Amino acid sequence: MKTNRRWAFSLLPLRSAVCLAAFAGAAALLAGCASNAPQPKTSGGWLKDQVADAYTFGFPLVASDVARERAAGGDGTRPGQAPLNTLRHASALPPVGVTGAPSVDTLESTAWLDVAKEPVLVSLPAAPRGRYYDARAFDAWTNVLYSSAERAPYPKAQTIAFVPAGWKGTLPAGVLRIDAPTRYVWLSIRVRVNGPRDVREARKLQTAMQIDTLSGAPRAAPDPAAATSGAWSNAAADHPATPATASSPTEQAETLDANRFFARLAHALDDNPPSAEDAHEMSQLAELGVVPGEQVQFRKSDAALLATGLADGRERLATVPSNAISKNGWTWFGDSVGKYGADYTLRAYLARRDPGTATKESEVKPVARVDSDDHPLNGANTYVLHFAPNQLPPVRGFWTLTAYTKDGALVEGKVPRLSLSDRDKLKKNRDGSIDVVVSEATPGKGLASNWLPVPGGDFQLVMRLYAPKPQAADGTWAPPVVQRQ
């Protein structure tokens, strides 16, 4: 691929206007101008935007690279890690007070697959009667490669082969082939759990899951203590380019300065090439000096420009993209999720805010932070969600409603439940409608079945629709407003 170095050199102090004119006029004059003293750059606004674009484009790959390293490390033998091509199972529901807005209705099993040399086979059992689960696989750029819930929320037994790009071999009969465009694939399998007493039954499904390479090559023995309850493992791992003090891989990726961020991106690109449609973005990275597998070096004089570009990129990732669906005070995403194409802003936003986001056919996740008067939700108030008759969340799988602090922590203290779901026996009004009460204080016995306890102070509500029906994904249906009483 030819590389135009115009942008790369524009990050350096520019030649004088005389030199530029000489370059346009004749090569002989260029030689004379080359010895002139560099002049300071007067304005780099558009360059700053280009750095922000490059950061937005590359953030998902850097974040997933950090997550893989922390989950598997070199050989996956550090405490809390598991080797590549090895499942790690959450063996309990998240405790109260834990952060990261975790699901309290599913157990998660995860694995980082390495398909560099040969296909990796993932064998999954049939879902027992009424036991929803969804096996999701993502490439290193967080694009969805596969989701069982897109096809069936209660899948049959299946074996899936994740195949390296260009592989021409033969797979066993009956195996579903999924071509992986990147060396690393992240697997996340979420099994429904109906409260702590149901964990043991869900664990039976986890133990029936299996990962093997096509050749059956031996792997490092897994750590029996390795377990994870979040979408991206938070197991600590030392790396000279990534501080281990960050609480999550995405936060860790955000702490990187320009030199470390783009160096990590160049390294990860060597194993995990982007889509062919990303040629323009790759050309811009090359102009910046970021080439797959090559060392990245920036001039010290460009540090301020690079830092400003990264700051702008981080601001983009903290801003809800314009193509979000917003209704009744709730915000969620439909089209493009999981199949991002050139929507790099949405991909980076979700990689930062909600790793493991599936397609709209697998899961829809509306979030509310304000009430009907556009005031922040606060535990000092009592709220009601009024569902009209037959207007509970439309799903093929199941739905849940969970409250978290504004920072994503679960309710602390002894409460009767951490979420409401379709399995709860919600009390109906005479007309068939349902009122869900959201408050810190108990509403009393008469409404106890419909009560969702919330934290004190500002909080947020997260509704999860697993295997939603189309009307939930396109905004035809929306959660009701959160009405303050």
Highest mean pLDDT of the ranges 40-54, 203-217, 238-252: 203-217
Residue 93 lies in a domain: yes
Q: Residues 349, 453: one domain?
A: yes
User: For residue 361, what are its two tokens?
Assistant: 């056919």
Residue 288 lies in a domain: yes
Q: Residues 81, 185: one domain?
A: yes
| The pLDDT of residue 337 is above 90 | yes
Compute the distance between CA of residue 20 and CA of residue 277 in angstroms, rounded to an integer: 33
pLDDT (0 to 100) of residue 458: 97
Place of tokens 């029996």: 224
Residue 190 lies in a domain: yes
Place of tokens 């960050």: 246
Residue 222 lies in a domain: no
Q: Residues 46, 86: one domain?
A: no
Residue 223 lies in a domain: no
User: For residue 16, what are its two tokens?
Assistant: 């004088």
Q: What is the DSSP letter of 450?
A: G
Residue 396 lies in a domain: yes
Q: How confident is the model at residue 38 (pLDDT cuts 50, 70, 90)?
A: very low
User: For residue 306, what are its two tokens?
Assistant: 């690079």
Q: Residues 96, 58: one domain?
A: no
| The pLDDT of residue 114 is above 80 | yes
| The pLDDT of residue 28 is above 60 | no
pLDDT (0 to 100) of residue 225: 41
CATH code of the domain covering residue 373: 2.60.120.600
More confident residue, 370 or 37: 370
Q: What is the dihedral of CA 411, 409, 398, 416, to 10 degrees?
A: -10
404-425: pLDDT as tens digits: 999 999 998 888 999 999 999 9
pLDDT (0 to 100) of residue 36: 38
**Which of 351-378 are b and which e, b meaning 16 or more Cβ less than 10 Å from the residue's Cβ?**
bbebbbbbbbbbbbbbbbbbbeeeeebb
pLDDT (0 to 100) of residue 236: 29
Picking from 25-34, 242-251, 254-263, 396-405, which range would have the lowest pLDDT averaged per residue?
25-34
Amino acid at site 421? S
Q: Residues 86, 150: one domain?
A: yes
Q: Residues 199, 299: one domain?
A: no
Residue 322 lies in a domain: no
* Angle between helices 303-317 and 45-72 in degrees, nearest 10: 70
Enclosing domain of residue 270: 6-63+245-317
| The pLDDT of residue 222 is above 60 | no
Sign of the Cα pseudo-torsion (422, 427, 431, 433, in order): negative
| The pLDDT of residue 37 is above 70 | no
pLDDT (0 to 100) of residue 335: 86
pLDDT (0 to 100) of residue 453: 96
User: For residue 134, what are its two tokens?
Assistant: 């969804």
Q: Residues 343, 476: one domain?
A: yes
| The pLDDT of residue 208 is above 90 | yes
Cα dist from 280 to 48, 104, 262, 272, whole Å: 17, 42, 17, 17
More confident residue, 373 or 239: 373
Compute the distance between CA of residue 232 and CA of residue 318 in angstroms, rounded to an integer: 19
Q: How confident is the model at residue 466 (pLDDT cuts 50, 70, 90)?
A: very high
Picking from 11-25, 116-130, 214-228, 310-324, which range would have the lowest pLDDT averaged per residue?
11-25
pLDDT (0 to 100) of residue 475: 86
pLDDT (0 to 100) of residue 29: 31
The answer to whether residues 4 and 279 touch, using CB atoms and an 8 Å cutoff, is no
Q: Residues 437, 298: one domain?
A: no
Residue 229 lies in a domain: no
369-414: pLDDT as tens digits: 999 999 999 999 999 999 999 999 999 999 999 999 999 999 988 8
pLDDT (0 to 100) of residue 44: 54
User: What SS3 class is residue 169?
Assistant: coil
Q: Residues 340, 472: one domain?
A: yes
Picking from 14-23, 50-59, 432-441, 470-479, which range would have the lowest pLDDT averaged per residue?
14-23
More confident residue, 130 or 173: 173
pLDDT (0 to 100) of residue 474: 86
Q: Residues 332, 462: one domain?
A: yes
The answer to whether residues 354 and 454 touch, using CB atoms and an 8 Å cutoff, is no
CATH code of the domain covering residue 90: 2.60.40.1610
Q: Residues 456, 346: one domain?
A: yes
| The pLDDT of residue 256 is above 70 | yes
Q: Residues 38, 111: one domain?
A: no
Write phi, then psi, for 190 (nearest 5 degrees). -110, 120
Q: How confident is the model at residue 336 (pLDDT cuts 50, 70, 90)?
A: confident
pLDDT (0 to 100) of residue 219: 55
pLDDT (0 to 100) of residue 218: 61
Identify the domain boundary among 293, 317, 341.
Answer: 317
Identify the domain boundary among 266, 286, 317.
Answer: 317
| Residue 480: CA count within 13 A, CB half-sphere | 19
Bridge partners (DSSP) of residue 103 are: none
| Residue 128: CA count within 13 A, CB half-sphere | 11
More confident residue, 79 or 282: 282
Per-residue DSSP letters for 323-381?
T-EEETTEEE--TTTT--TT-HHHHHHHHHH-TT---TTTEE--EE-B-TTSPBPBTTS
Per-residue DSSP letters for 296-313?
----GGGHHHHHHHHHHH
Find, among 4, 47, 2, 17, the residue nearest to 298 by Cα.
47
Residue 172 CA, chain-centre distance (Å), reads: 32
CATH code of the domain covering residue 57: 1.10.3360
Compute the distance between CA of residue 483 and CA of residue 485 in angstroms, rounded to an integer: 6
Query: How many domains does the chain fold into?
Result: 3
